[in-house]
Structure 1
Amino acid sequence: MSDAFPANLAFACSQFASIAQVCRRIGINRQQFNKYLAAQVRPSQHNMRRICDFFGVTESEILLEERRFRELLAVRSAPETQRGAPLYAPAIERLSRASGSLDRYCGYYYRYFFAFSYPGMITRSIGRLTRVGDQYLWKNVERHASMSHGASDVTKYEGMAFLLGDRLTIVEYESLLAGSITQMILYPSYHTGIDYLTGLQTGGPMKRGRKPAASRVMLEYLGQRVDLSRAIRRCGMFSQEAVGPRVTALIRNDMAADAWVFEVDQL
């Protein structure tokens, strides 16, 4: 065991609020951990791997000469005080301050778009926009029959919404695996009541080779309160005939022959 290990371990721990916190998060007994710091005991191979994984280093790196290890850790990590507030937090706060009010848009919606992975089929999912403090949060649930076992597969998305430049922007991510991000840009409603919000969405579907794609999208406002169980049962994958000509016309991904970019006109 390198003589630098106890010092490097102590320095890595100094990036956190306390050694007790480090022990809890790694899952190693505090008394045992103190013996590592005092160079009284060598960590087992299993515990060494847990320690290295927690600090984001390899075993060879945590055994480096002290100066080199400190330089390496300074590049890879930030102090605990900074970890408490992610580096992107100021950007979200600034966008939230710049955003107009979305209070009138809060409530439940059906979301319609041509499915990225099933040509010609239309997805109807249910979403909800809510206000929490000064921010607007978005949740969306997709439900469709599994091709493998016949039961319903459910995919959940979470994100944030902003009113910027007179357009609603919703950024969401798939919340189970966090493997994809979708963005919607929608026209606002200029009527007293809200019926349909139309716009574009982009994403990289899990199927179909994860090719980046864009499509028209429409949100149908359902109100502040709905029978959620019934609304979810009505979600799924549908033919154009089942959805009807009105919805199909609003989300059809036609593009003019002389167009160079994919655009959506306001209703």
Structure 2
Amino acid sequence: MEHLGKDGSALAANLRTLCDRHGSVAAVCRKINVNRQQFNKYLSGAHIPSATNLRIIANYFGLSVAILFTDPDEFRTLVDGNFFHAMATARQLPEFSRFVSSMIVENNADHNDIVGVYDRYQFSSIYKGFVLKSAFCIYRNKEFLQHYYVERFPSFDDPSKIEYVFKYYGFCFPVADRLFTADFEGIQSNEMTFGVYARVKRNSKKFMFGIASGVAANVFRQPYSTKVALHYRGPGLLCREHLKALTVMDRNDPAIPREALQYLGDGSDMIQMS
């Protein structure tokens, strides 16, 4: 066994988070067939699991080994946002399994050039004429590239308060220098959205420009199609700092990257069904 360093401390904290949300530690140990005394050492930060036990633990919780070592604050954001549970539920659906069966990332490419956190900009369908800034994250989980993103809309009456929150989670499929996405809204659970993006290679900043379309399962949210700009901010998962910055912005706000605003235009080409 290796003694824990910084990454091992993160592992210990994340294991405690998972066990808190999965019942008793004893039940987890029985399920994964790991000695309780040894598992307590993992939870306390005294030891790090062997490579074999890491895979067993990761498989039990439906995660990749790499995600177990992520920053604890970022990890809790994923757990509290129910992203792990939602993706585990989706994987159990036979229709979903058939959908992704031919889309598995089978090559050895790490796709490190696209995984990480992005600012996501698009014109808002709720605040007409304003730009919605959301937080978007791509990460690798076993044989899949997955993503999730969060939208927050301030109240019309009191902008300091949040009126709406939407959380989307899904899969990414890099094909022929394009990134295809399919995701599901996890709070109202009534919308699917799809996107296709291309990276901008002529700029030193990292952008992906594309189009997203969404259709809700009821008449209260209109189907839409709109341009989307993704601005890469760095590696890792979403954390509280990213989520605090989510809002709706005037299109003349200088905080919006010039490249993103040029791509988005004035929003007049946003397609909505009336």
> What TM-score do you get using the length of structure 1 for normalisation?
0.56
Asked if the contact 2:192/2:216 (under 8 Å) is kept, the reply is no
1:210 counterpart SS class: coil
| Alpha-carbon distance in structure 2 between the residues aligned to 1:110 and 1:206 | 27
Asked if the contact 2:200/2:209 (under 8 Å) is kept, the reply is no
Structure 2: gaps spanning 5 or more residues: 1-90
Equivalent of 1:237 in 227, 230, 248: 248
Aligned match of 1:41: none
Matched, 1:251 2:260: no
| Alpha-carbon distance in structure 2 between the residues aligned to 1:206 and 1:91 | 19
| Alpha-carbon distance in structure 2 between the residues aligned to 1:193 and 1:147 | 37
Aligned match of 2:96: 88
- What amino acid sits opposite 1:94 in the alignment? S
Equivalent of 1:129 in 138, 147, 159: 138
What RMSD, in angstroms, separates the aligned Cα atoms of the two structures? 3.1
Count of matched residue pairs: 174
| Alpha-carbon distance in structure 2 between the residues aligned to 1:197 and 1:117 | 23
How far did 1:230 drift? 2.3
2:102 counterpart SS class: helix
Aligned match of 1:180: 191
- What amino acid sits opposite 2:263 in the alignment? L
- What amino acid sits opposite 2:175 in the alignment? L
| Alpha-carbon distance in structure 1 between the residues aligned to 2:149 and 2:178 | 19
- What amino acid sits opposite 1:89 in the alignment? S
- Note closer, same or farther for the CA distance 1:193–1:207 as it changes in structure 2 (3 Å cut): farther
> What TM-score do you get using the length of structure 2 for normalisation?
0.55
Radius of gyration: which is bigger?
Answer: 1
Asked if the contact 2:117/2:232 (under 8 Å) is kept, the reply is yes
| Alpha-carbon distance in structure 1 between the residues aligned to 2:249 and 2:128 | 11
| Alpha-carbon distance in structure 2 between the residues aligned to 1:227 and 1:175 | 16
Asked if the contact 1:195/1:221 (under 8 Å) is kept, the reply is yes
Aligned match of 1:155: 166
- What amino acid sits opposite 2:103 in the alignment? L
- Note closer, same or farther for the CA distance 1:206–1:112 as it changes in structure 2 (3 Å cut): farther
Structure 1: gaps spanning 5 or more residues: 1-82, 256-261, 263-267
2:190 counterpart SS class: coil
Matched, 1:145 2:154: yes
- What amino acid sits opposite 1:172 in the alignment? D
* Aligned counterparts, 1:176-215, within 5 A: 176-190=187-201, 195-204=206-215, 209-215=220-226
Aligned match of 1:113: 122
How far did 1:166 drift? 2.6
1:101-124 Cα offsets, whole Å, 9 max, x none, are 633210000000000122101000
Aligned match of 2:230: 219
Asked if the contact 2:106/2:143 (under 8 Å) is kept, the reply is no
- What amino acid sits opposite 2:196 in the alignment? I
How far did 1:204 drift? 3.3
1:68-120 Cα offsets, whole Å, 9 max, x none, are xxxxxxxxxxxxxxx96614313302112478763321000000000012210
How far did 1:173 drift? 1.1
- Note closer, same or farther for the CA distance 1:143–1:107 as it changes in structure 2 (3 Å cut): same
1:5-59 Cα offsets, whole Å, 9 max, x none, are xxxxxxxxxxxxxxxxxxxxxxxxxxxxxxxxxxxxxxxxxxxxxxxxxxxxxxx
1:128-165 Cα offsets, whole Å, 9 max, x none, are 10000110111101112134676213221111100123
2:101 counterpart SS class: helix
